[in-house]
Structure 1
């Protein structure tokens, strides 16, 4: 291998490592749901290149309202999938979409965009 091939290989490995870290090991923004006077746990989530916050902590057995505000037109973020709750929603750009659910069991439940690239989780305690 000549010098140029070695440099290209090293840069490629560094970029691949960064992509793996970004999608799987980067720090997550965690938010605990806030209970309203009616007992509904609410969380506001901004969708812009990802979900912020992307980890939501809620209590089991209490209704949850997630307010997804999609602050972009990127086609990847136009759909929300929550397979464990049988929820699929379209997220219109620059609008808030309400998602209501009632978690009955404790655990970690993943949600994604329609392409599976944007990821988040609901942690039920």
Structure 2
């Protein structure tokens, strides 16, 4: 929403809208008996664990931790048939749904001029972060900003939104 009051109103509407659902689920589990309740609680426990893992992973990505699920996933998928071209002046399009492209190859020791182009981005994607380089840019919904840096090590540099939801990789070769 890009507005604190509007965001609070959205959250209030969400809470008010979900209250009947949760009361209904509680009422249903109480009237359907112990057998159903035991199965439901197991399913609910798995769902809560999954949500906890994904929430903690988002925080790890936002902090730039090397121990996040995307870093493990990227290491396991190293045999990908997708080959990005080496571009020292890439442009990342920032939309409300993420970053395009979200995988870029650059050369070590050469200046990278990364252009961030936001187009109607009304999500956390407009809060662009490269934690390992201590780079942080907040873009307006329709904005363009330039980031320049020189990668000094071969490897993968993760970038993400401020929440860790939208992410990508800059591979230095």
Q: Give me the TM-score of the superposition, normalised by structure 1.
A: 0.69
Aligned length: 111
* 2:115 counterpart residue number: 67
| Residue 77 of structure 1, CA deviation | 1.6
Task: Say whether residues 1:124 and 2:124 are aligned partners.
Answer: no
Q: Give the whole-Å Cα distance in 2 for the aligned partners of 1:59 and 1:110.
A: 16
- 1:1-125 maps to which residues of 2 (within 5 A)? 31-34=84-87, 41-48=88-95, 49-125=97-173
Q: Give me the TM-score of the superposition, normalised by structure 2.
A: 0.52
Distance 1:73 1:92, change over 3 A: same
* 1:37 counterpart residue number: none
Distance 1:89 1:30, change over 3 A: farther
Q: Give the whole-Å Cα distance in 2 for the aligned partners of 1:102 and 1:92.
A: 25
* 1:5 counterpart residue number: none
Distance 1:44 1:100, change over 3 A: same
How well do the aligned residues superpose, as a CA RMSD in angstroms?
3.3
The structure where helix makes up a greater share of residues is 2
Secondary structure of the equivalent of 2:157? Answer: strand
Q: Give the whole-Å Cα distance in 2 for the aligned partners of 1:98 and 1:44.
A: 9
Q: Give the whole-Å Cα distance in 1 for the aligned partners of 2:160 and 2:94.
A: 11
Q: Decide which structure has the larger Cα Rg and report it.
A: 2
| Structure 2: gaps spanning 5 or more residues | 1-34, 37-42, 55-69, 74-79
Preserved contact between residue 30 and residue 56 of structure 1 (Cα < 8 Å): no
- CA deviations 1:81-103 (Å, max 9, x no partner) are 10111101111221111111110
The structure where strand makes up a greater share of residues is 1
User: Would you identify which runs of 4 or more consecutive aligned residues in structure 1 move more than 2 Å?
Assistant: 28-34
| Structure 1: gaps spanning 5 or more residues | 3-8, 35-40
